[in-house]
Amino acid sequence: MAEFKFNLLTHSPETKRVVSTALGAAAGEGWGDKDRHKAVKMGTNSNHVLCAADDEIEAFVDTVRGDTVNEGFSFGGVSRGGRHEAKIGPGQGTTTAAKVLDYVVADAQIAVGTEGVAQVKTGTPTTHKWRIVQLMGDGFEGSTVILERDE
């Protein structure tokens, strides 16, 4: 019998709930395609900014356009739903390994302009709850996970 595991969805774009937004904490940061899939939270200037360690994840960067808005902020879309691939970051440390159904928060993200997916670690989010639905690896740093929003 074939083994089934949850994975990224390649259809049903309505489940991703992509919204347009300014990207970055300041004008001129120069977000691009290398920043797709990183974890972000809402900023105070009609924008989304990279999550810091222990932040609740509000969305994932879905697209980045070449133009700017709001006097120099990058522009693109962020996905507030669906499934997303992430990596367990170094903040997981030597604590109990992440496992399926564990909730996650952001770990320190890879810098803007550097290729990489969202970095996460197990945690206890209260508002924006993302959980692991598939784990590839031992659950420690570097393991790939598929996340799904628990709504």
CATH number of the domain bearing residue 125: 2.40.300
Q: Is residue 6 part of a domain?
A: no
Whether the per-residue pLDDT at 10 is higher than 80: the answer is no
pLDDT computed for residue 63 by the predictor: 93
Residue 128 belongs to domain spanning:
16-149
Name 57's Cβ contacts closer than 8 Å, sequence gap at least 6.
Answer: 39, 40, 41, 51, 104, 105, 106, 118, 120, 125, 128, 130
Average pLDDT over every residue of 99-128: 97
Average pLDDT over every residue of 90-117: 95
Q: Is residue 2 part of a domain?
A: no
Question: How many domains does the chain contain in total?
Answer: 1
pLDDT computed for residue 4 by the predictor: 72
pLDDT computed for residue 11 by the predictor: 60
Q: Is residue 39 part of a domain?
A: yes
Q: Is residue 42 part of a domain?
A: yes
How many percent of the chain have pLDDT more than 70?
94
Q: Is residue 4 part of a domain?
A: no
pLDDT band at 13 (very low <50, low <70, confident <90, very high): low
Whether the per-residue pLDDT at 58 is higher than 90: the answer is yes
